Amino acid sequence: MFLVLWEFEVKPGREQRFEEVYRPGGDWDSLFRTDPNHAGTRLFRDTSRSGMYLTADYWLSRKCYEEFLALRRSEYNMLDAVAEDLTLSERHIGIVRTRCPHNQLRAHRATSPSTPRSGLTN
């Protein structure tokens, strides 16, 4: 299992829209869910730094993630361009290997609604 991590500084007043786009069931997660090797998305809000968020996207392997990017690059770039207006900065933290069994994430993904909910972890 691989985890892709990003950190974002969100423009003041754009937090709600940012959360809609980046939360589980949001725009990014919906794009990633088109690939069966995507195992889930999480959105974290920093409680000590206003406007700071972390996203975590789970993939079965690094190769699966890289193949998804190659296949869906134009859709990824279009969504990235639209979402860019929501942030002051973004930083790719990295791609890390996890020890979390993928069946736990897949089970959660199967039961998590794609309808609006905060999807935030504080």
The pLDDT tens digits for 56-112 are: 999 999 999 999 999 999 999 999 999 999 999 999 999 999 876 555 555 545 544
Decide if 114 is inside a domain.
no
120 in any annotated domain: no
- The CATH number of whichever domain residue 10 belongs to comes to 3.30.70.100
Report which DSSP code applies to 69: H
Task: Give the angle 64-33-7 at the CA atoms, nearest 5°.
Answer: 75
- Inform me whether the pLDDT recorded for 49 exceeds 70: yes
Domains in the chain: how many in total? 1
- What are residue 118's phi and psi, to 5 degrees? -65, -45
Strands (E), the chain: 2-10, 38-45, 52-59, 87-97, 120-121
Please, are residues 79 and 31 in contact by the beta-carbon 8 Å criterion?
yes
Domain hosting residue 67, numbered range: 2-109
Residue 118 lies in a domain: no
**Domain annotation covers residue 122:** no
Mean per-residue pLDDT, 30-39? 97
pLDDT value of residue 105: 54
